[in-house]
Amino acid sequence: MEHDDVQQQPWLHDLSLTLAAPTQVWSAADGQVGGPGARSGLEGVLHGERRVISVLRLDVDGREPAAVASHSVRGDSTTYVAVPRHLGDPGPDPTVRVERQRHVEPGLVRERYIISSTAAEPVACTLGLLVGADLAPLDGVKAGTGRAPVAPEGVGGHVLSWQQDALRAVLRLPGAHTTHDGDHARATWEVVVPPGESVTHELLLTLDDTRAAVTAPSREPGWNHVEVQSSDRRLGPVVERCLDDLRLLRLAAPGADGVEEEFVGAGAPWFLTLFGRDSLWTARMLLPVSTDLAMSTLRLLAHRQGTRTDDVTAEEPGKILHEVRSAGFSLNEADEDGGDRHLPPVYYGTIDATPLWALTLHDAWRWGAPDDQVERLLPALERALAWAVEHGDADGDGLLEYVDRSGHGLSNQGWKDSGDAVRRSDGSRARAPLALSEVQGYAYAAAVRGADLLEAFGRSGTDQWREWAERLRGEFAQRFWVEDALGAFPAIALDRDKRPVVSLTSNIGHLLGTGILDPDGVDVVARRLVGPDMLSGFGIRTLSTQAAGYSPTGYHVGSVWPHDTAICLSGLAAEGRPEAGPVADALLAALAAFDGRPPELFAGDARSAQPAPLPYPAACRPQAWSAASAVSLVSSVLGLRPDADGLVVDPVQPWAFGETRVSGLGLHGRPQDIEVGADGAVAGTDR
Q: What CATH number has the domain bearing residue 45?
A: 2.70.98.40
d(C-alpha 620, C-alpha 631), whole Å: 19
SS3 617: coil
CB 492 within 8 A of CB 501: yes
Our count of domains for the chain comes to 2
d(C-alpha 158, C-alpha 489), whole Å: 66
- Nearest alpha-carbon partner for 371 in 294, 275, 278, 457: 457
Which residue type, as a one-letter code, is found at position 46? L
- Residues 329 and 428 occupy one common structural domain: yes
d(C-alpha 411, C-alpha 434), whole Å: 10
Give me the pLDDT at residue 670, please: 86
Strands 77-83 and 66-71: antiparallel
- Residues 328 and 410 occupy one common structural domain: yes
Q: Residues of 62-74 as b/e, b for ≥16 C-beta within 10 angstroms?
A: eebbebeebebee
Give me the pLDDT at residue 339, please: 67
- Residues 559 and 618 occupy one common structural domain: yes
CB 154 within 8 A of CB 81: no
- Residues 89 and 125 occupy one common structural domain: yes
Give counts: helices (H), strands (E), the chain.
Answer: 13, 31
Q: What is the mean pLDDT of each run of 10 residues along the chain (687 residues)?
A: 65 96 97 85 96 97 97 95 97 96 98 98 98 96 90 97 96 98 96 98 97 95 93 97 97 96 98 98 97 98 98 98 93 67 94 98 97 98 98 95 94 96 96 97 98 97 96 98 96 97 98 98 98 98 97 97 98 97 98 97 96 96 98 98 92 96 91 95 74
Is 5 within a domain? no
Up-side HSE of residue 593: CA atoms within 13 Å toward CB? 21
d(C-alpha 571, C-alpha 288), whole Å: 16
d(C-alpha 173, C-alpha 176), whole Å: 6
Which residue type, as a one-letter code, is found at position 278? D
List C-alpha distances in Å: 162 to 177, 208, 327. Answer: 18, 11, 20
Is 8 within a domain? no
d(C-alpha 59, C-alpha 264), whole Å: 37
Domain of 420: which CATH number? 1.50.10.10
How far from chain centre, in Å, is Cα 493? 25
Specify which residues 355 forms β-bridges with: none
Q: Where are the extended beta strands (E) located within 517-632?
A: none
Q: Angle at CA 367, nearest 5°, toward 365 and 370?
A: 50
- Residues 369 and 410 occupy one common structural domain: yes
- Residues 470 and 612 occupy one common structural domain: yes
- Nearest alpha-carbon partner for 525 in 468, 588, 476, 470: 476
Residue 220's Cβ-count burial label (10 Å; 0-12, 13-18, 19+) is: exposed
Measured from the Cβ of residue 601, the count of other Cβ atoms closer than 10 Å reads 27
Is 133 within a domain? yes
- Residues 560 and 600 occupy one common structural domain: yes
Give the residue from 161, 179, 209 where a domain finishes.
209
Q: What is the DSSP string of 137-186?
A: EHHHHHHT------PPB-BTBSEEEEEETTEEEEEE-TT-EEEEETTEEE
What's 311-363 look like in SS3? CCCCECCCCCCCEECCCCEEEEEECCCCCEEEECCEECCCCCHHHHHHHHHHH
Ramachandran assignment for 16, one of left (phi > 0), alpha (psi -120 to 50 degrees), beta (any other) = beta
Whether omega before 654 lies within 30 degrees of 0, making that bond cis, reads yes
Measured from the Cβ of residue 526, the count of other Cβ atoms closer than 10 Å reads 23
Is 535 within a domain? yes
Is 218 within a domain? no
- Residues 154 and 293 occupy one common structural domain: no
- Residues 346 and 232 occupy one common structural domain: yes
d(C-alpha 261, C-alpha 185), whole Å: 39
39 phi/psi in degrees, rounded to 5: -85, -20
Up-side HSE of residue 117: CA atoms within 13 Å toward CB? 21
Which residue type, as a one-letter code, is found at position 357? W
Describe the crossing of helices 276-285 and 562-574 by its angle, rounded to 10 degrees. Answer: 50
Q: Residues of 27-37 as b/e, b for ≥16 C-beta within 10 angstroms?
A: bbebbbbbbee
CB 88 within 8 A of CB 56: no
Is 66 within a domain? yes
Is 219 within a domain? no
d(C-alpha 592, C-alpha 611), whole Å: 13
| pTM of the complete model | 0.96
Give the residue from 162, 179, 209 where a domain finishes.
209
Give me the pLDDT at residue 209, please: 96
d(C-alpha 577, C-alpha 523), whole Å: 8
CB 587 within 8 A of CB 566: yes
SS3 638: helix
Is 7 within a domain? no
What is the 8-class DSSP label of residue 543? Answer: B
CA-based end-to-end distance of the chain: 63
Q: What is the DSSP string of 486-502?
A: TEEEE-SEE-TTS-EE-
d(C-alpha 134, C-alpha 53), whole Å: 6
H-helix or E-strand spanning residue 428: none
Give me the pLDDT at residue 35, please: 86
- Residues 193 and 232 occupy one common structural domain: no
d(C-alpha 170, C-alpha 160), whole Å: 6
Strands 340-343 and 435-436: unpaired
What is the 8-class DSSP label of residue 612? Answer: S
- Residues 575 and 507 occupy one common structural domain: yes
CB 345 within 8 A of CB 213: yes
Give me the pLDDT at residue 338, please: 63
Residue-number span of the structural domain to which 129 is assigned:
16-209
CB 161 within 8 A of CB 167: no
d(C-alpha 293, C-alpha 284), whole Å: 9
What is the 8-class DSSP label of residue 223? Answer: P
d(C-alpha 419, C-alpha 439), whole Å: 18
Give the residue from 152, 177, 209 where a domain finishes.
209
Give me the pLDDT at residue 377, please: 98
**Measured over all CA atoms, what is the biggest interatomic distance in the chain, rounded to whole angstroms?**
86
- Residues 538 and 678 occupy one common structural domain: yes
Give me the pLDDT at residue 108, please: 98
CB 658 within 8 A of CB 301: no
